[in-house]
Amino acid sequence: MFRSVVIAAATTATLTLPAVAQDVEAGAELFQKQCGTCHVVMNEDGEILAGRKARTGPNLFGIVDAPAAQVDGFRYGSGLLAAADAGLVWEVPHLVAYLQDTNIFLREVTGDPKVRSRMAWKVRKDKDAADIAAFLATLK
């Protein structure tokens, strides 16, 4: 069931993306403003590449194309753990869809209409979500 749901989510995300190029620099700025309060991007050497030393959300270093809920020591919510159990991998279209509405995305992935995300923030514009995902894709 997961594969068909995720393909549908990816297709939806892809179809809703604007027909303009993704802007990594804009994504970096948006990350700092919208995501950096709760998230950090810290490499293996402990160098902070984006965000602050925030611990509300997990470290997002290498998140793109990685399995969901894999940061050691981070306490993920049950919704994201269920999505991880279903095999969610953070491909760019999945990340874009998640950023725009975490609850709807997790409900589609898990098939559970009651599942909720602990992340309340939503990125309102398609292009902004795509730019943030493009920025995160550069941090591996």
Domain membership of residue 28 as a residue range: 2-137
pLDDT in tens, 60-90: 999 999 999 999 999 999 999 999 999 999 9
CATH code (residue 122)? 1.10.760.10
Instruction: Say how far apart CA 45 and CA 90 lie, in whole Å.
Output: 23
Do you know the residue count of the chain? 140
Distance of CA 66 to the CA centre of its chain: 11
Task: Domain count for the chain, please give it.
Answer: 1
pLDDT of residue 105: 97
**Which 3 state secondary structure label does DSSP give 111?**
coil
pLDDT in tens, 87-138: 999 999 999 999 999 999 999 999 999 999 999 899 999 999 999 999 999 9
Q: What is the pTM of this model?
A: 0.83
Binned at pLDDT 50, 70 and 90, residue 21 comes out as: low
Instruction: Say how far apart CA 38 and CA 42 lie, in whole Å.
Output: 13
Burial class (CB in 10 A: 0-12, 13-18, 19+), 102: buried
